[in-house]
């Protein structure tokens, strides 16, 4: 399949001399065989510990289609460099991450929705981050490496780890128990209600039964709040000008709760209502805490 990465394993029996090995490929529509250069072949080694991960962002998820909207990508607002370093996040074991303009331009279920951070946490003290890395979240919920690899690998020893995922204006979530990560493939699907998560109500249930991350952590303090000090509503009003709530603003911003590239304080599709709904809807003084140790 085009646009995917493939590994080829080639074995041959060791002889006493004149050992040679060549690997070639050809297209279905072309009989020309192209030999893979030796510089692209390496001695076999086990894969680094890694995981295939899935999640949905509540702000962008559409239950009717089962996909997230990619409005930020369509408006070329998703940055080509991961945004979390600039937001003050400190990576453990690695840093950075970039994509190309061509990758951002891709459409369909594998289109880019936004950047996320994936963390491995100590199985005995899950508040301790052992390793973290940036990743790309696609419309269908797949979390992939910036280079397109479906399996997120980490330069750590094979062991058991908790898996946590963060987004810049959604509450983070973590696996309900630790998982074995080694050369074999492991998977965690946080879109399923059957997948256990750490804490209580770490995710929101959408109308089609899929689980999504809670949207609205505009202040990035690990809590959704509508009123009071450090609330997430006031920054939305400030973003549109403060004194005229009917104004709008555009851009790649934390105040854009529904991730459509437009910040609204009032009116249809505003970014204030999802926040109120996610803390309960009827009691604006309620709060919702992020479920991480």
What span, in angstroms and rounded, lies between the C-alpha atoms of 86 and 192? Answer: 32
Q: Are residues 87 and 128 in the same domain?
A: yes
With respect to residue 32, please indicate whether it lies within any of the assigned structural domains.
no
**90: in domain:** yes
The answer to whether residue 27 is domain-embedded is no
Tell whether 156 and 241 lie within a shared domain.
Answer: no
Residues 182 and 86 in one domain: yes
95: tokens are 């840093």
Number of domains in the chain: 2
Which of 189, 213, 237 is a domain's end point? Answer: 213
Same domain, yes or no: 275 and 183: no
Chosen domain end from 213, 231, 255: 213
Q: Which one, of 202, 175, 199, lies nearest residue 187 by Cα?
A: 175
Among the candidates 178, 213, 248, a domain finishes at 213
Answer whether residue 82 is part of any domain. yes
Whether residue 6 is contained in a domain is answered as no
Q: What is the pLDDT of residues 77-90, one digit of tens each?
A: 999 999 999 999 99
Whole-number Å distance between alpha carbons of 6 and 8: 7
| 70, 202: one domain | yes
**pLDDT tens per residue, range 95-133:** 889 999 999 999 999 999 999 999 999 999 999 999 999
Q: Are residues 66 and 114 both part of a single domain?
A: yes
For residues 55 and 150, state if they share a domain.
yes
pLDDT band (50, 70, 90) for residue 23: confident
| Radius of gyration in angstroms for the set of CA atoms belonging to the chain, rounded to a whole number | 22
| Residue-number span of the structural domain to which 248 is assigned | 223-289
* Residue 39: pLDDT over 90: no
Poorest-confidence range of 38-52, 155-169, 176-190? Answer: 38-52
What is the band of 55 on the pLDDT scale with cuts at 50, 70, 90? very high
What's the average model confidence in pLDDT over 61-68? 98
Q: Looking at the structure, do residues 200 and 241 belong to the same domain, yes or no?
A: no
Q: Is residue 43 part of a domain?
A: no
**9 falls within a domain:** no
pLDDT at 282: 84
Tell whether 95 and 232 lie within a shared domain.
Answer: no
One domain for residues 237 and 208: no
pTM above 0.85, yes or no: yes
């Amino acid at each position: 399949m085009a646009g995917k990465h493939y590994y080829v394993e080639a074995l041959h029996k060791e002889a006493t001399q004149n050992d040679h090995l060549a690997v070639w490929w050809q297209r279905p529509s072309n009989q020309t065989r192209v030999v893979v250069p030796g510089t692209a072949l390496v001695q076999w080694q086990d894969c680094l510990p890694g995981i295939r991960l899935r999640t949905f962002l509540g702000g962008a998820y559409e239950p009717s289609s089962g996909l997230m909207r990619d409005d930020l990508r369509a408006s070329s607002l998703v940055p080509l460099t991961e945004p979390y370093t600039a937001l003050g996040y400190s990576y453990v074991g690695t840093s950075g991450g970039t994509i190309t303009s061509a990758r951002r331009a891709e459409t369909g279920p594998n289109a880019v929705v936004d950047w996320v951070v994936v963390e491995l946490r100590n199985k005995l003290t899950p508040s301790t981050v052992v390793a973290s890395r940036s990743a790309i979240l696609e419309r269908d919920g797949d979390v992939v490496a910036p280079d397109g690899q479906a399996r997120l690998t980490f330069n750590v020893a094979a062991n058991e780890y908790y898996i946590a995922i963060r987004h810049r204006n959604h509450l983070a979530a973590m696996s309900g128990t630790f998982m074995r990560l080694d050369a074999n493939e492991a998977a965690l699907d946080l879109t399923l209600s059957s997948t256990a998560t750490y804490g209580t109500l770490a995710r929101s249930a959408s109308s089609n039964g899929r689980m999504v991350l809670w949207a609205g952590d505009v202040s990035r303090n690990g809590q959704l709040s509508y009123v009071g000090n450090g609330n997430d509503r006031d920054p939305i009003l400030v973003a549109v000008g403060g004194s005229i709530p009917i104004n709008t603003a555009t851009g790649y911003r934390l105040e854009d709760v529904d991730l459509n590239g437009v910040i609204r304080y009032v009116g249809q599709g505003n970014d204030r209502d999802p926040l109120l709904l996610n803390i309960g809807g009827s009691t604006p003084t309620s709060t919702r805490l992020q479920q991480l140790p």
